[in-house]
Structure 1
Amino acid sequence: MRHHWKWRQIVHRKKEEISMAIQLQKGSGINLTKDHGLDDVEIEVTFDIDPTHPVKAHEMDVNACAFAITHKDGKAVAPRDEAFVFYNNRDYGNGALTHDVDGGSVGDDKMYLHFSKLEQSPDGIDEVSCIVEIYEGLARGHHFGQFSHCTAHIVNPATKEVIAEFKLAEEDSNATAVQMGSFVKEDGHWHFKAIGAGYQKGLADFLHVYGLVESGPE
């Protein structure tokens, strides 16, 4: 895998767009296919730098990525390199899991999941794990405690309605990477489960966890 990092301008949703969203807590979840009738969803990650910390917005970046995972053999594994989706590998295959093209001037980090297409994958995908990571957080001494918030929004792409949102908790303030949550197939339905597990790790560590190996930079 080859990683290319770049700065992004932060884009935020208007308060009225998220006022009716379900506020998820760690360990809670929603049934997206049964209760909300969705076959596809948009995931948007937004954040704000805490003005009380001596770090400027252009010095900080949060990258959103996802791993398409199978439990065929009883262990959570990304079956191939393409199952790690981020801005330098935008499509797991057939539009089942994609990362939005970043135009630079727009800059928000978005991903899209199509559940029926995931089910058509020969890899037997039954989970999509969503990670947010601070670019070079360990090396630069950056952490989520320097943000006033970092929020994942689950959006209906057809109507742009925010179905649910999940904000990182204060207990993740020392983390440089967080598993925000997972889309999991259970009993024939796709759910989103809020996890919020913080780590002092980089993306390479998650590659190892899911059975992948990173390549060196170009």
Structure 2
Amino acid sequence: MIISKGQKIDVTKGNSVAKVAVGLRWESNDPTLDINVSAFLLDQQGRCNADEDMIFYNQPLSRNQAVSHVEKRHDDRESIDITFSSLPKDIAKIAITLTIHEGEALGQSFVNVKNAECRIYLNEKEEYAVFPFGEGLNQETAIVVGELYMHQNEWKFNAISSGYTGGLSALVQSFGLSLESEAEEPVTPIQAPIAPMILDLQKKQSINIVKSTKVTATLEWDSKKDLDLYCFYVTKQGETGKIYYRNLGSATESPYISLDGDAGANGKETIVIHRPEELHYVLIAAYSAISNGVGSFKSMKAKAVVDNHQGQIITSPLYENNMFAYWVAIAKIDFTAPNEMSIIQIEEYSKAGVEKSPLLYEDGSFKMNVGPAEFKRKKKK
């Protein structure tokens, strides 16, 4: 079974599973790249409460020997083995991570890595799921690949692939620990640890997360129909506009937003916000061309996923079955606070049969059915 970023799958439910192995493999043209696999045993709040709950090559066994680090097996470079029955009662999640040793100092990052995969084996032998990950990572030096977590007395796996800058230090701090070498150095006060967060917003819910130096927003859907991602923006200078398949934007020119292109089929489209500090508001919307016919965005499982690359991933799903809308405004991001950004699930639809787009105004408000009309045609074969 191939799984994708953001997907959650059952591991123990319906399976006779005593043990699970999580294997990691990757390729790189840089022979000096030193990548290490670690597992963090977390409580219900996502915190690692003891140094012995961080498992890696230099500390290969957890409490009760429930989790172990293993070198080279099943053609994987490194593996994490978990015996569920031996896990301490306070452990509700297990985060699987990769870090580049001294990546920041050596100028190395996951942009130098390709064909990365996470493989889940039931009872340490039977291959159950494969998660290709790492797409879109650039200067990050640490990744939370995925997370095993307890849900209704069963274990599940969440495919995350969220990158961090700052390497092992940032990753360790995000889970509530600290590195011994850092504790010995008289340094200036550091930023408070960033709490990992993976959340699906409820209808009209909003959440504040850390405003980082890079943000990605992805439109994902599960349908053979072609959807288009539109990113309406307001810069801090009050400029308004939109990034979409006819205007892909740029990483080096205002508004410093780029789109990865027109998917032209089912799947996903992603925008990268390269300089969040230059923006006030962003509106994430989806357009379904007339050629798609009728059908709700919800039935296509359309959703917006916002990632600040600091371990905080917010998904804005859709909850209404609106069968005749060409447009849906899914989520708005408010960048006006100095250190935080607010993500709001808005879910507003265009009127039936109306192709006029939404418009985002300078004050952050928006309206449906008032912008230019779209008439996207099918591409000729």
| TM-score between both structures, scaled by the size of structure 1 | 0.76
Residue 133 of structure 1 corresponds to: 99
Q: Measure how far apart 1:101 and its partner are.
A: 5.1
Alignment map for 1:149-188 (pairs within 5 Å): 149-158=115-124, 160-188=125-153
Residue 42 of structure 2 corresponds to: 69
Q: Measure how far apart 1:201 and its partner are.
A: 2.2
Aligned residues: 181
- Work out which of the residue numbers 70, 79, 84 in structure 2 matches 1:115: 84
Q: Measure how far apart 1:133 and its partner are.
A: 1.0
Alignment map for 1:1-218 (pairs within 5 Å): 22-50=1-29, 56-57=30-31, 59-71=32-44, 75-100=45-70, 108-118=77-87, 121-122=88-89, 124-158=90-124, 160-216=125-181
Q: Which residue identity is paired with 1:116?
A: S
- Contact 1:24/1:165, CA 8 A, preserved across alignment: yes
User: What's the CA shift string for 1:164-188, capped at 9, x where partnerless?
Assistant: 1112242123321110010000011
Give 4+ residue runs of structure 1 displaced > 6 Å after superposition: none
Q: Measure how far apart 1:108 and its partner are.
A: 2.4
Partner-residue secondary structure (3-state), 1:23: coil
Partner-residue secondary structure (3-state), 2:173: helix
User: What's the CA shift string for 1:112-146, capped at 9, x where partnerless?
Assistant: 0111211xx14x11000111111211111112221
| TM-score between both structures, scaled by the size of structure 2 | 0.45
- Contact 2:25/2:76, CA 8 A, preserved across alignment: no
CA root-mean-square deviation: 2.1
Identity %: 26
CA distance in 1 between partners of 2:153 and 2:81 (Å): 20
- Contact 1:133/1:176, CA 8 A, preserved across alignment: yes
Q: Measure how far apart 1:36 and its partner are.
A: 2.9
Residue 3 of structure 1 corresponds to: none
CA distance in 2 between partners of 1:96 and 1:193 (Å): 20
Gaps of 5+ in 1: 1-21, 51-55
- Contact 1:129/1:182, CA 8 A, preserved across alignment: yes
Gaps of 5+ in 2: 183-381
The structure in which a higher percent of residues are helix is: 1
Q: Which residue identity is paired with 1:115?
A: F
**Which structure exhibits the higher relative contact order, with contacts defined as CA atoms closer than 8 Å and separated by 6 or more residues?**
1
Which structure has the larger Rg?
2
CA distance in 2 between partners of 1:48 and 1:96 (Å): 29
User: What's the CA shift string for 1:49-78, capped at 9, x where partnerless?
Assistant: 14xxxxx32x0121100110012xxx3211
Q: Measure how far apart 1:107 and its partner are.
A: 8.6
Q: Measure how far apart 1:48 and its partner are.
A: 0.8
- Contact 1:87/1:102, CA 8 A, preserved across alignment: no
CA distance in 1 between partners of 2:4 and 2:176 (Å): 29
Partner-residue secondary structure (3-state), 2:181: coil
